[in-house]
Structure 1
């Protein structure tokens, strides 16, 4: 009798035990090295491994088309419970602007992790000292003021479009130069190939502190601790936008596999190591996991489509 009872208890606990273990995990960063998704993927990798939540963890890059090439590869990996992909608002927009055959209704949502406000930067020697200086030149001749940022339809592109509206510039006339990785955007700004660049603060922080770039505005609703940059709002532009990032898995994974991945992210989020990472990189904690993230993704897809339509990026 006791043997049978013990067997029954072990059987009942087996799914729970399995749900706590994630091995041989791979995380896809669907962009070039150096950008926000790559940084986020490698930060997750470090904390998961150091906290013993998953081992080993490999990060690999699949750049192109605002992440939709990586999204298609994830979709084609149906049922692979050891594969994750970092994604975010950039991808939500790129799906629509690239008319992607695969959208986020085809993946398994795991968690929304962080948000990061966008900054507008210019080279240190630029004549534009403030956002108002830049906007004045922009309004006079929209095509002559080029902005560098991430892929077409992504967060950076949306912010420039919203800024154009706020500055009285026709978004359809703006000169936006898209790049697939943050390193390329940075090079374009430092090389004076464009008038300004847009990205998350973390991607420009080192160069701002080194004095090679000047940040003239941040897309936060209020000033951010540790970031001495005036908001766009306080300069007269009613614009704020957060570039959130999250994690999804392929479609067709089992409920047990999904539970294990969500549990790993929950533990990552609760760890001191992750809190230290957020503070160090100045990422805003926007954690949301499981079914709540699933609902959020659906709402975000609708919101993004409306924004892109308003600024003329999609019909």
Structure 2
């Protein structure tokens, strides 16, 4: 894609080095574009702009521009970079990715994210919590599990978009409980307010969502947490982990960075080194703490291997939920359920 066409399709915020550039005389990259999908269900709105600010203020980039990239979420890795070629240190481009993009690519029957771009790093994660209204008869996760085993279709659970992280997590929980995943009832909502309203008026019996986002309602006593998806308990949320209730599962809606598919070895190494420096930057760590993001850093070949495994796990759950015809990893053109 020519540069003129690229900017015609996107809006961005430019951050340039000034007097608070951390004193670095030789930034890792002169000019950096951080592309962020604007598609519904992406779930990490605004993180590109925050990354751009951290990069410049920490002296890691001379200028950094956060660019909103419109388009279909599942094909974003294929479409975002166009014909761009490095060198990365002079003008680099990164794409914000997350679990919903992985699921969207599988549902849309496009190339898997891990194959459509160069996996660079997993940065942060957002743990989930299962909540019910404070007056619900479901007092504990054991109550919820017993009802689900008795009648899998009898409980409707709400969350973010269908096929996204909350939906996939619900499928994983059902599978761990020995429930026929195909019978699970799930209602996806693009707006958090719509999901909250559905819970309060009884259209859904429980809600899966970001523990970080739901904590104020939990603290105020309007919602009762039943379980969290993290490996350890979460401060401010009095609920066990899935592991504690014998559901052998840990799961978060993660966010990371991708590079163009055909990066040279030198450009890939430079981009991964930049990600390493982002994770180590005090400003980034302070930002993560302020927003309640858990640092789950993984980079390079380890991230690529993890992403391949996570893609296969996600594909399997989407198949069991009825969103894919097959869990086969090589059935391009025939896997997606058609209306």
Relative to the length of structure 1, the TM-score reads: 0.77
Residue 176 (structure 1) aligns with: 186
The answer to whether the 8 Å contact 2:218/2:237 transfers is no
Deviates more, 1:302-311 or 1:149-158: 302-311
| 2:52 pairs with 1:45 | yes
The count of corresponding residues between Structure 1 and Structure 2 is: 296
How far off its partner does 1:183 sit? 5.8
How far off its partner does 1:190 sit? 5.0
Q: Indicate the SS of the match to 2:204.
A: coil
Partner Cα separation in structure 1 for residue 204 and residue 71 of structure 2: 23
Partner Cα separation in structure 1 for residue 92 and residue 202 of structure 2: 43
Residue 303 (structure 2) aligns with: 293
Residue 98 (structure 2) aligns with: 88
| 2:55 pairs with 1:26 | no
Deviates more, 1:70-79 or 1:97-106: 70-79
Residue 248 (structure 1) aligns with: 258
How far off its partner does 1:284 sit? 2.7
Following TM superposition, the consecutive aligned residue runs of length 4 or more in structure 1 with deviations greater than 6 angstroms are: none
Distance 1:238 1:245, change over 3 A: same
Any gaps of 5 or more consecutive residues in structure 1? 1-16
Residue 58 (structure 1) aligns with: 66
| Per-residue Cα deviation, 1:128-185 (whole angstroms, up to 9, x for no partner) | 2222233333344433422222333333222211222334432111111234465654
Select the structure with the greater relative contact order (CA < 8 A; seq sep ≥ 6): 1
How far off its partner does 1:186 sit? 4.4
More helix per residue: 1
Give the 5 Å matches for 1:119-158.
Answer: 119-158=129-168
Any gaps of 5 or more consecutive residues in structure 2? 1-24, 327-339
Residue 271 (structure 1) aligns with: 281
The answer to whether the 8 Å contact 1:22/1:264 transfers is no
Distance 1:187 1:49, change over 3 A: farther
Q: Indicate the SS of the match to 1:138.
A: helix
Distance 1:211 1:226, change over 3 A: closer
Partner Cα separation in structure 2 for residue 276 and residue 268 of structure 1: 12
Partner Cα separation in structure 1 for residue 93 and residue 250 of structure 2: 33
Residue 13 (structure 1) aligns with: none
Relative to the length of structure 2, the TM-score reads: 0.72
| Per-residue Cα deviation, 1:165-222 (whole angstroms, up to 9, x for no partner) | 3344321111112344656544544564322221231232233233333221112233
Residue 68 (structure 1) aligns with: 74
